Amino acid sequence: MAGRQSEDATQIAIVNYLRQVLPADAIVFHPANGGLRSKVQAARFKAMGVVAGIPDLLVLVSPGRAIFFEVKRPAGVNQRKGSESLSQIAMRWKLHGLGFDCATVHSIDDVRNALRALNVSTREAA
């Protein structure tokens, strides 16, 4: 469970960072697909549209651009970096095929670098 908590803390830090540096009209949200559920809850959520492998964060920026971030835990003491599941890898390729930008990130620096590589303007001092 320590890996999950570390990944959650990383995601919270990334969301806070994105909300500080992206333009004011940008939207950052987490599609609540993950988490442990009973079989009944899981079936209900699947019927409601939950799809395996959807990335952790969706960033919407003008003009009409969507960027997906899969957040994984950073490397730590006695811990390897988190890695993508097969369903996450397949979804990333599907999203790329549909023309969306996707990145797997382990830190705020990874997000900063991805935004820079994708030419997304931020309010962060250069």
Q: How much is the pTM? A: 0.87
pLDDT-based confidence at residue 1 (cuts at 50, 70, 90): very low
Decide if pLDDT at 35 tops 90.
no
pLDDT at 126: 53
Query: Could you tell me which CATH number the domain at 2-117 has?
Result: 3.40.1350.10
Residues 50-108 have pLDDT tens digits of 888 999 999 999 999 999 999 998 876 456 667 888 999 999 999 999 999 999 999 99
pLDDT at 80: 66
**What does the alpha-carbon distance between residue 54 and residue 40 come to, in Å, rounded to a whole number?**
20
Question: Residues 9, 107: contact at Cβ < 8 Å?
Answer: no
For the chain, give every domain's residue range: 2-117
